[in-house]
Amino acid sequence: DQQVKQNSPSLSVQEGRISILNCDYTNSMFDYFLWYKKYPAEGPTFLISISSIKDKNEDGRFTVFLNKSAKHLSLHIVPSQPGDSAVYFCAASVTDSWGKLQFGAGTQVVVTP
């Protein structure tokens, strides 16, 4: 039973525009959420995280929004750059669960000139 879902397998966006990636979860116990970026044949790289006590966290071009009532989070990338072309994974965990992460299936982002 998949507890973290990324329903859009792919997203194409023009360079300079905003990329919006979405993620839904079903387990109301999740209280820590992360986004990872992955290039082919490499390991995922941590991008940004958010605790359930917040509804927004920003780091440079990346902003994560959390809507606990809807069990939904999103990642905004502004402006999108060619180097942002990668697969983005949403992950969630429960504090005190020894860091066990549940991952979504990923969204492939392609940034076009």
Partner 1 sequence: DGGITQSPKYLFRKEGQNVTLSCEQNLNHDAMYWYRQDPGQGLRLIYYSQIVNDFQKGDIAEGYSVSREKKESFPLTVTSAQKNPTAFYLCASSKVMTAPRVYNQPQHFGDGTRLSIL
- Position among 52, 65, 103, 110 found at the interface with partner 1 (CB under 8 A): 103
Q: Helices marked H in 1-113 — which ranges? A: none
36 near 106, Cβ under 8 Å?
A: no
Nearer to partner 1, 28 or 97 (CB): 97
Q: Restricting to residues 12-71, which ones interact with partner 1 according to CB under 8 A?
A: 32, 34, 36, 41-46, 49
Nearest-5° Cα angle at 54, 61 to 77? 15
- Position among 11, 20, 101, 110 found at the interface with partner 1 (CB under 8 A): 101
Nearer to partner 1, 79 or 108 (CB): 108
**Angstrom distance (rounded) from CA 112 to CA 14:** 5
Q: Spell out, one character per residue from 78 to 97, where the chain touches partner 1: x when CB under 8 A holds, - when not.
A: -----------x-x-x-xx-
The upper half-sphere exposure of residue 25, i.e. CA atoms within 13 Å in the direction of its Cβ, equals 28
**Angstrom distance (rounded) from CA 37 to CA 107:** 10
Binding site for partner 1 (CB under 8 A): 2, 4, 6, 9, 32, 34, 36, 41-46, 49, 89, 91, 93, 95-96, 98-101, 103-106
